[in-house]
Structure 1
Amino acid sequence: MASMSRTKSEPNLLELEEELTCSICLCIFNVPVTVPCGHNFCASCLELTWAGQVRDLSCPQCRATFPSRPQLRKNTVLCRVVEQMRGSGTGDGKEDDESEEEEREAATLIYCDSCLQAAATQTCLTCMASFCPEHLRPHHDSPAFRDHRLCPPVRDLQQRKCPQHNKLFEFFCSQHGCCICSLCLLSHKPCHTSTLQEAKDKTEAALKKRLVELHNQSERSVQAMNSVKTIQSQAAETAARKRDLLRAEFMEIKALIEEKENQTLKVVMEEEKRVCNKFDYIYKILGSKKNEIQSLRDQIEMALTEGDDVLFLKRAAALQRTSIKEAFVPVIEMDHNMIHAAYQSAINLKDAVKLAVNASVDKRTDGIVSLWEPAFYASALSSNERDSPSNPNIKTRAENRANRYTLCLPTFTILHFQTKMCSLAPNVGAPGTGAPNAAIAVKVKELITSFLKRPREELMQYAANIMLDFNTAHNKVALSERYTKMSVSDTLLNYNHHPQRFTDCPQVLGFQFFKRGIHYWEVELQQNNFCGIGICYGSMGRQGPDSRLGRNSSSWCIEWFNSKISAWHNDVEKCLPNTKATKIGVLLHCDGGFVLFLSVEEKLNLIYKFKAQFTEAVYPAFWLFSSGTVLSLCQMKP
């Protein structure tokens, strides 16, 4: 029965023991004290934890902070609970606990070395023996034992002796980390030694300090963990807000595209309705004409049945004078120009969206960002619609469509495109190459030499995808393949007037311009070599013979005329060796002040180089002469 009751009470005692355990030492409370937050700890454990701290003390369990050191008072109720828990149990259980306690005391008891029966009360460190009160009496009474050192009972006295000199340990060598006797001091003379008590006090203080440091380190780790959790939650909130903003932006884009779709479909439906109404009206007229013919047929048949000759002749004369015109069906066609314009606007919008979605940000800080090309493309396409000679009445609608294209593009694309368009105004300044001094000339020469030694793969890091500016194209220059291919048309294309358009020379400029940095593009020559490839300032003239590439101080070019190759600048020609290259590379170094024209074959070969101190923005420029000449801009991935 006792064992059964003990078994039933064990879970309750275990639960009570968990509640009465100090969270610092993980043992049953010893003199428990309560902190202001309500948690309890051993007084000695809490004092050791707070050692050396005066302000910003914290609870070791809940981390609650206190501005000043709280007054700790003994929790008397908890003390009585601990005492009752330690002395809990009745009957056989109590006897078992007492027997276990007696066994533990017997195991730890030190007996007298003289009688080997009584418990020792003190140990003589001089005699190296423990004595009971009876056998310890000579140490108190006899003057011979007056100098002997007595201490509480000590077990294993042999471990306190030096194995070499058989003398008691009295000192501690901090350098070797061992206890030594007085004779060992001679061999440890260079070392730092101290008494055992001093070494104990010093080590104990160091361990307490280490314990405080570990506690502070633990608190800092907890603070760092809390900080990481806070940052993580903030990042999650930021990502959630960004997702909401992105959803809103894409919903707006979808709404704009749906609006464009509805407007385009409405144009086709209205045209269909207009044509169908006309056919309904004509069908109604033809029905009336059919009824009129049927009525005349009936009258003629009735006249043929008349027996009276006089009446017959009168009716026949009247019927013969009645004439009915042949049924006429006018030609009614849908306005295919309008429908084609609506369809083309959808194609243009699709291409613009594709370019905007697939565009990648240029990694070079001094290059041209390719994200604005979709906006240019949409603008150029709408300009093409405005210039279409097939239907001049769609100009206003085309302008409205162009504005709607811009609304459909991403905001960052529109802003960047507007910035680029604002900077297209020609810079005012006197053109010229300048005269660099000798040191600069040497550096430029070395720089050019270094670029000429590089393979094409290294130059591709400066690659720029050039598109042609529709508003600069001469009326005989036809643009195709998304404004990357140019050719000479046999007939005038009747482009609308634009202040940037060439009027005398069949030329066109690139849409991109460069003010600084290094840029490289390639042009493929097709079918005919009556052409020129070069660069120019935006302020170069658009009219007169001086507007031809190389015939002024604002342009530099390489020209193919029959089998003759020439370099032109400021109306000065320099004949060059013939080359059969079909692909030309142009390397522009704005800061270095030079442009290289290279033949792209298995390796790059220099055709000609121009040195100039560029004072304005520089545009790629192209000249085409005879019918059949075709130039294509190579689209390269840097």
Structure 2
Amino acid sequence: MGSMEEVLTCPMCRDLFGPGYPLPCGHSFCPNCVWDIWGQTQGSSSIRGRFACPQCQEDQAVVACDCCPEENGEAGSACSAVKSCLRCEVSLCEQHLQPHLQCPAYSTHLLVDPLMDMSHRRCPAHREVFRYYCLDDREYICADCILEGSHAQHQVKGLRNLQEDYKVSVQSLFNQAEDKMKSGARILQEHEKSSSNLIGSFVADDSQMVRLGSALQAQVDILVEALKNVNEQERQLAFSRLEEDLGRTKGGLEQTESAHRYLGSLLQETDPFLLIWAFQSEHSKLVADLTSPLFTPGQPSMNKKRILEHVEQKYREFISETLRCLIELKRDLLSSPLTLDTNSAHQLLSVSDDQLSVKRLKSRLPHTDHPDRFDHWSQVVTNQTFSSGTHYWELEAEGFWDIAVTYHSIDRKGKEGTAFGCNKVSWSLSSMTESLRRGTTERKHISLLRCAEADWRSRWTMPPDRSPSQRWGHQPPCSPCTSSAPTSLSPCAWASASINQSSTARSPSSGKHD
């Protein structure tokens, strides 16, 4: 039992392991230690990438050629070996290697990197070179081991054949690793691009917040200034009333003082004829002045009710402008530009470099064939798809065109069943001269919407709770609605002039955005 534990104990980490990794020298190690030593060896330039046994390796000197003559009994005068032949059990320099490379008799000999000691590559029982490998016992064996029958009924392979088999597996794993590296690099590139876009959106969001704050502050300043103006106007009106009342009060007092002075002068008059004449001529006027009531001004005050009415009006204007700013912010934050899929674009369509606009050409472009490319109709779909949520699209178009929503599974090749709006997997809004036509496969249900201008700007919404096989309608511009399509839908276009895709926006309550 103790000897079995010793055999199954890794000489490096001293842990027990199952089927180990036997090396040509006969030593076995646990997989973890083998991989650790392999990584260290690959990082060492002095070993030139060779795998040396961690247990029996010695300081490696230059391997000398076994066929070079020794001068003065010194082995150091021999040339350095470049290969070792496992069949001949000799190390060969560049010159003595040539027969192995040129003579057909040596074609079956296995050449490896120079080995300092090849004794570990011989069978300890028969002193023969290992030429086979037992897959069941996972050990190297020689021809005599096979003849003795110790590996009867075992799966045995020659080292060269096993090497070729493993090379096939290694090549497959290498290709798999290479593909995974490419996928990882692509994912990393996309992630870095997404990170860059996210950082850019952070900066844009900050700018939008600053603009919103400035706009709101401007509206607050306008409101405060308006309220100050209202208050100032009411103050001016109150001052005007006060001055008017003061003038009337002073006028009444001056009139009474004038009558008082006149009557006082009559009392001082000594001529009876003059007194009688003066009194009779001014009597009625004096009586009217003295019997008329004095003007009594009211309590000075401002018209608070009118001030409140003005304040309420200005505040409503402030709320309206604030909501407008918030709506613009919501639009900016939730908008997302749609990009056109160049792989799907027909050869008569030219997609802009930013993939935001497309126009029809007179001659075909030399596009390479692609499974997603439309080959008959001048159509193109977007890269983005939508499986749920509330979305609408804004675009600018001129000429003859179709704006459509389609399932991604729409056929791309041939004429039949591939035109937008002419099958059960798409719906389109078409321009016909100066009119718009909406339709699906039910062509008898056609509605014409008058278009006032050839250059038309449209806001178009995905209809609610409808699949493309049902009749959809052109929705009002300000009422985006929810789609419950069973699979993802792609906005798309057919063009005979030009279309500029502005953006897609969604409400905060919208669902998943694919």
TM above 0.5: no
| TM-score bracket, shorter-length normalisation | 0.3 to 0.5
TM-score normalized with structure 2 length:
0.36
Relative contact order (C-alpha < 8 Å, sep 6+): which is higher?
Answer: 2
